[in-house]
Structure 1
Amino acid sequence: MASIHPSETATASAVGATSDAVVPQRLPTRRRWFMLSLLLIATIINYVDRVNISIAAPFMAKDLGLDKIQMGLIFSAFAWTYAFALVPAGFIADRFGSRFTYGVSLISWSAVTICQGLASGFATLFGLRLAVGAMEAPAFPANSRAVTVWFPARERGMASSIYVCGQYLGTALFTGALLWLATTYDWRHVFYSTGAAGVIFGVVWLFLYRDPMSCKKVSKEELKYIEDGGGLVKASQERTRFNWRQIAELFRYRQVWAICIGKFASTSALYFFLTWFPTYLMEERHLTNLKVGIFAVLPFIGATVGILLAGIVSDALIRRGVSLSFARKLPLVVGSMLGMSIVLVNFTDSNEICIAILTVAFFAQGIASSSWAAVSEVAPKELIGLTGGVTSLAANIGGIVTPIVIGAIVQTTGSFAYAFWFIGGVALIGTLSYSFLLGRLHRIVLQAR
């Protein structure tokens, strides 16, 4: 019998349709993880520039004389343009690739963020938030596309979770520092500092990020490992021509509808934490700035743990031979269901218990945010960015509706109680969508060309 040298051994791993893929024990490069680290940093900046206004809001509203209705409109303005720019942004990501699309987007929205520090009233702030939303739209379609071309299916859940956790890490890491800026200097410095950081990293991104086939530092062995495992390496070189029939055909699939509804529900909870949460702690729970700086971080830590746990469990199930469909759906159902717990804050007067409940609810939202991995599994290979854009459009309609609804509720009732019932009800809709509408996950093959 012929002997086999240890360096020639390989480990087989079953992953859905790629069950015959062979995984080398050692790869000369791990470039995909470096690219993922860039995605994580970019996503942290992305969400800091979304949430900075919620930290500045109590100071800004007092300085500029803004009421709750006006603040609700300002909070929602970002999502108006962001939501409706997502479909063209997804096409741009498919057409021009993640490097160019993300780099230009990052520098543009960061420059507008700096300009928010110069705002003098409602109209200026509202217009600038509209601009930030439009400029940020390409970010998550480009993220989804980058993970799909850089990672095999068996690692895609964890990879998606790592970059998505950036939307929570930024707030957890920088809330205290931004509150310090707002109180020590003024609220305008919150926008100056976060915007400047984004412009600098945008230049770094353009210098360092490459798609797989354009990267000179990735080995052939790593490229083969990614491609054999279901990563769409060659798709990173393809440039898609836009066709309206392809968008229409996407909506023939129940998977797309279910993910859209589920994302809408999950994003509704997210936007409470990104917009009204600090105001709720200050005005309804009467916490000091110091306590807000401490307590506001805890739910974001919970959400970070949730999204990472979802990715770890999902990928582990796949490696153990569980179907890709079940492994990707389980976190979505569990996270949406647990998210309904947010209504329990209406039944406690204890600030500590309130924060504990909100931490659990945001932990659940983090778990449900693993829907990006599901998008990566179902998106047609030629429309990865566009599918991400379509599902994000539905998600961010929640970003339009939620801040306005909460602002109207608080203005009318003087309390956040009905706001939590609203968020809990939407979480129930998301649970039903993922449980009964989603069905089996599989990559969509379009007929329209």
Structure 2
Amino acid sequence: MKKTNGRWLVVVLLFIATTTNYMDRAILGIAGPSMMKDLSISVVEFGVLGSAFFWSYALMQIPVGVIVDKLGARLTYSIAIVWWSLCTVLTGFGRTIGALIGIRVLMGIGEAPAFPTNTRVISDWLPSHERGMANGIFNSGTAIGIGITTPILAWIIENWGWHASFVVIGSVGFVWLAFWLFYFKNHPSQSRIANEAEVAYIEAGQEKKENVPTINISPFKFFKYRNVYPMLYGLFAHNYLTYLMMTWLPTYLVTERHMTLIKAGFFTMLPWIMSFLGNILGGILSDSLIRRGWNSIKARKTILAIGMLFPFAIIPTIYTENAMTALLLISLAIGGEGLAAGILWATVSDVAPKGAEGKLAGLQNLFGNLSGWLAPVVTGVLVAKLHNFTLALIIPVVICAIASFGYAFLLKNERISLKEDPTNGSNVSGF
């Protein structure tokens, strides 16, 4: 019997969900000037509004990891996308800064399960040697949602107004939900889109599930394992650069590089196109190494370590006066870092004990998104005090370089085993 390819339809659904997720985040920044003028919102108030999402999003990562492992991906994602889509729609009806901040905090709760759920789905639906590519595909939705859809979102705001833009973009999630419920089941063997041959193929490429009660284990237990730390810090480093650029790149191009706002908005797409390509390439490269016989974690961490060195391309921008040269260097940095972005979550699937992927993914996403609290604010303070972006651009380079070292030398090539005590030296991934 020839095997079906239903697992890749599932990956496409995750890609669309991730794109929708980031469109719902990015539209606030695009609609910002219109909102500030219409509602008399100050720059400081709008900065608080932009960060409010991350207050709840980061803090919810631990409980949502537990929820994903307990309820399963199908139900968790269904609830999550309805929640965050409703919040996006409601944003269009906000009339005061207090109401808008409250909606954004609620939206952070709704979007919190997305990446832990994606990780669990990839772990359940893909053999190990295809997870890098699958993670690269779904994670590339972040680049699409942040940058490449910008002209579409701007067109909606220009023609229909900022109120309508939130309603239109928020409605996309409900369309996705119909396809998710129709096609997706928690396990390939339960689904109509995967035949017996494909199920056998998936199971043959997965590790045997450990016979441990992972469902009752606290996510904080993972702090006992050395392998967790470079992963937590690595996502923090990746997100610091991502959120810095997502928040400040257009302003940098206008104030530091003297581009017009329209030109800056158009060229802002270039780094995210490079990020999209980097996401896909990182997955392909890591999966290729695994097919050549590499240990899956060794393959992932090699690409992770290389990808996190690309931000060094930002340093020459400090010394060049040409705006396009600076933009190309920034695009190289973000695109190269995209090599790592595509497999950050595949690494969780390889390192976490089977059945506890959601918990470890939630813990990683908690620490990774603390950078959402810091990067925009730290950058703003530095630019205000120094009247340039020099130090603000150096900081993420240093942070990412440390992450590269952690992946290369601290992340061990072994899945965490909860049956062993990490304090007795029997597990190489523990202290």
- Residue of structure 1 in register with 2:390 after alignment: 417
Q: Does 1:156 align with 2:131?
A: yes
* TM-score, normalization by structure 2: 0.90
**8 A contact 1:92–1:101 mirrored in 2:** yes
Say if 1:127 and 1:409 are closer, same or farther in 2 by CA, change over 3 A.
farther
- Residue of structure 2 in register with 1:217 after alignment: 193
Within-5 A mapping of 1:41-440: 41-211=16-186, 212-230=188-206, 241-244=215-218, 247-369=219-341, 370-438=343-411, 440=412
What does the per-residue CA deviation read over 1:292-339, in whole Å, with 9 as the maximum and x for residues that have no partner? 342011101100111111111111111122332321111111111112
Say if 1:331 and 1:96 are closer, same or farther in 2 by CA, change over 3 A.
same
**8 A contact 1:68–1:410 mirrored in 2:** no
**8 A contact 2:73–2:117 mirrored in 1:** yes
- Residue of structure 2 in register with 1:5 after alignment: none
C-alpha separation in 1, matches of 2:133 and 2:336: 17
Shift of 1:202: 2.4
1:165 is paired with a residue whose SS is: helix
Say if 1:188 and 1:174 are closer, same or farther in 2 by CA, change over 3 A.
same
Shift of 1:172: 4.0
1:254 is paired with a residue whose SS is: coil
**8 A contact 1:328–1:374 mirrored in 2:** yes
**8 A contact 1:78–1:129 mirrored in 2:** yes
CA RMSD after TM alignment: 2.3
2:395 is paired with a residue whose SS is: helix
- Residue of structure 1 in register with 2:428 after alignment: none
- Residue of structure 1 in register with 2:426 after alignment: none
1:119 is paired with a residue whose SS is: coil
C-alpha separation in 2, matches of 1:354 and 1:319: 38
C-alpha separation in 2, matches of 1:207 and 1:417: 50
**8 A contact 1:71–1:407 mirrored in 2:** no
Question: Aligned letter for 1:35?
Answer: V
Question: Aligned letter for 1:214?
Answer: Q
What does the per-residue CA deviation read over 1:232-275, in whole Å, with 9 as the maximum and x for residues that have no partner? 7x89xx9964333xx23311111111100111000101112322
**8 A contact 1:264–1:396 mirrored in 2:** yes
2:60 is paired with a residue whose SS is: helix
- Return structure 1 stretches of 4+ with deviation > 6 angstroms: none
Shift of 1:68: 4.3
Shift of 1:417: 3.0
Say if 1:32 and 1:224 are closer, same or farther in 2 by CA, change over 3 A.
same
Which is worse superposed, 319-328 or 278-287?
Answer: 278-287
1:105 is paired with a residue whose SS is: helix
**8 A contact 1:261–1:430 mirrored in 2:** yes
Question: Aligned letter for 1:202?
Answer: L
What does the per-residue CA deviation read over 1:368-404, in whole Å, with 9 as the maximum and x for residues that have no partner? 2121111110011121111110111111011111122
Which sections of structure 2, spanning at least 5 residues, go unmatched? 422-431
State the identity %: 36
Shift of 1:62: 4.0
Say if 1:187 and 1:289 are closer, same or farther in 2 by CA, change over 3 A.
farther
C-alpha separation in 2, matches of 1:83 and 1:351: 35
Say if 1:177 and 1:163 are closer, same or farther in 2 by CA, change over 3 A.
same
- Residue of structure 1 in register with 2:425 after alignment: none
Which is worse superposed, 65-74 or 375-384?
Answer: 65-74
**8 A contact 1:147–1:159 mirrored in 2:** yes
1:106 is paired with a residue whose SS is: helix
What does the per-residue CA deviation read over 1:66-90, in whole Å, with 9 as the maximum and x for residues that have no partner? 4444333222221221111011111
C-alpha separation in 2, matches of 1:344 and 1:418: 13
Which is worse superposed, 423-432 or 370-379?
Answer: 423-432
Which is worse superposed, 64-73 or 415-424?
Answer: 64-73
Say if 1:111 and 1:167 are closer, same or farther in 2 by CA, change over 3 A.
same
Shift of 1:219: 1.4
1:249 is paired with a residue whose SS is: helix
Shift of 1:289: 4.2
* TM-score, normalization by structure 1: 0.87
Query: How many residues were matched structurally?
Result: 418
- Residue of structure 2 in register with 1:35 after alignment: 10
1:99 is paired with a residue whose SS is: helix
Which sections of structure 1, spanning at least 5 residues, go unmatched? 1-25
C-alpha separation in 2, matches of 1:344 and 1:123: 42
Say if 1:419 and 1:70 are closer, same or farther in 2 by CA, change over 3 A.
farther
C-alpha separation in 2, matches of 1:293 and 1:404: 21
Say if 1:411 and 1:184 are closer, same or farther in 2 by CA, change over 3 A.
farther
